[in-house]
Amino acid sequence: MTHEEISVAVHAEQKAHREAQRTLMAEYDRGYYARLKELRVACEAIGHKWRFTHLGPLNDPWFACGICRATKVEIDSEGKP
Ligand SMILES: [Zn+2]
């Protein structure tokens, strides 16, 4: 094989690898996100365990549930000073 042929073949292999990853992960993710949603609904039913994580870009406090990893932001409804 020449350098040109190897380069073209490597590029084709990497492209096929990326496409396979996209296809396989898309199929997996359909079930994954549905299962996560079910678990988060179950956690919400018995009460999330919210913990402050950080301030967002607009200085709003963000929280994550320590059990199911759901996140939420609490926006100050009275506006910022
Ligand atoms: Zn939770």
Strands 50-55 and 71-73 come out as unpaired
Q: How far is the CA of 74 from the centre of ligand 1 (A)?
A: 16
- The string of pLDDT tens digits covering residues 24-81 is 999 999 999 999 999 999 999 999 999 999 999 989 999 999 999 999 999 876 655 4
Say what the pLDDT of residue 24 is. Answer: 95
Across 14-49, b (16+ Cβ under 10 Å) vs e yields eeeeeeeeeeeeeeeeeeeeeeeeeebeebeeeebe
Q: How far is the CA of 5 from the centre of ligand 1 (A)?
A: 53
Q: How far is the CA of 58 from the centre of ligand 1 (A)?
A: 24
Say what the pLDDT of residue 60 is. Answer: 94
* pTM given for the model: 0.67
Q: How far is the CA of 6 from the centre of ligand 1 (A)?
A: 50
Say what the pLDDT of residue 4 is. Answer: 98
